[in-house]
Amino acid sequence: MNSTYFRTARKRPSLSVQRFGASVLMMGLALSASARDGVPSLKEPAPSIKDQKPDSQNTPAAHKPRRWLQVGVASWYGSHFQGRKTATGEQFDMNMMTCAHPTLPMGTWLRVTNLKNRRTAFVRVNDRGPVIDGRIIDLSYAAARTLGLAGIGKVKLETVRESDPILATALIAQLQVPVLFDPESMAR
């Protein structure tokens, strides 16, 4: 084969293509360097909360997470469903503090407040429902009894989060966890 054939078939890239590639590379490096401008480097410490000046946007109220709540009509279900499987697969117990909600994730803890008498109770979502339109939650018999709910009633729902110590403390108080170790009974 003739070697000149290969030399003529393979052309070197033109100077304008090389310049274009170099300029794209430089722009990429410049953009990546400018993206790091907002991130503090390892040499300089990040500004602390004490160093920040208070202004209208840095107030604690501006950084408070929003609380999920829902207001609507609640009902309860009891002995007819006793022992049947819930959406989580566990058996329904009308004497447990549980509820059925159409959208909240299973296992979510809710604070339910009866708006008529201001009684509150904490319930865990373990089922889907309610099946009747216009209602936002179906409570177990025990939860309805705690709230003083006879039939249907207007309630407010709030989710309980780990970051909310007041609601978490009230939930633990309602659960009435049995004492496993009592030093007074051991002394006798």
CATH of the domain at 127: 2.40.40.10
pTM of this structure = 0.57
Residue 27 lies in a domain: no
Residue 45 lies in a domain: no
Residue 113 lies in a domain: yes
pLDDT of residue 161: 79
| Mean pLDDT of the region 129-150 | 93
Residue 31 lies in a domain: no
- Number of domain units in the chain: 1
Range of the domain at 91: 67-175
Residue 34 lies in a domain: no
Residue 43 lies in a domain: no
Which of 138, 136, 134 lies closest to 151 in space, CA to CA?
Answer: 138
Residue 120 lies in a domain: yes
The total of other beta-carbon atoms located within 10 Å of residue 144's CB is 27
Within its chain, how far is the Cα of 139 from the centroid? 22
* 94 pLDDT more than 90: yes
Residue with tokens 């049947």: 84
